[in-house]
Structure 1
């Protein structure tokens, strides 16, 4: 039988701030990611708006604030706008 304490999975798609990534010098806020998966050992796989994924200890995570969620979503929208503009440019440049 597993002697480790049971963990409660964090819901996929929820926003979490990883306090372990914050720095005092230079001052940087914690990374905010969306939960992709909770592992059996209790660690959590998160993803940034740019697609970078990292694993964090659940003990370092807290729910993201409204402002952090809004900033994450704004960055995702910006990336999508840039991607869509590039697709339009490529289609137009192909002689179509």
Structure 2
């Protein structure tokens, strides 16, 4: 029961935070906030991606980090050359499996 109350409180808190922007009288955010908002997306993407590349299992090790870094670099290079996301993803996935198989 306690867990359910915690989940309800979190849900209500999230709803109140989102609704606060809808209820406010000004439809646009303050200038300082509007200047920073374009940087939120790239910062969140980097915060998710960098730890997943450098420490895929929570600890940095050559056997885990090297395949992830090589796959990311390969995906970027293939995408830049072909402009095809499926080609980039499949090529990087193949290289990742190959390096994970070769490295212990």
Structure (1/2) with the larger helix percentage:
2
Structure (1/2) with the larger strand percentage:
1
Please give the TM-score of this superposition, normalised by the length of structure 2. Answer: 0.30
Please give the TM-score of this superposition, normalised by the length of structure 1. Answer: 0.31
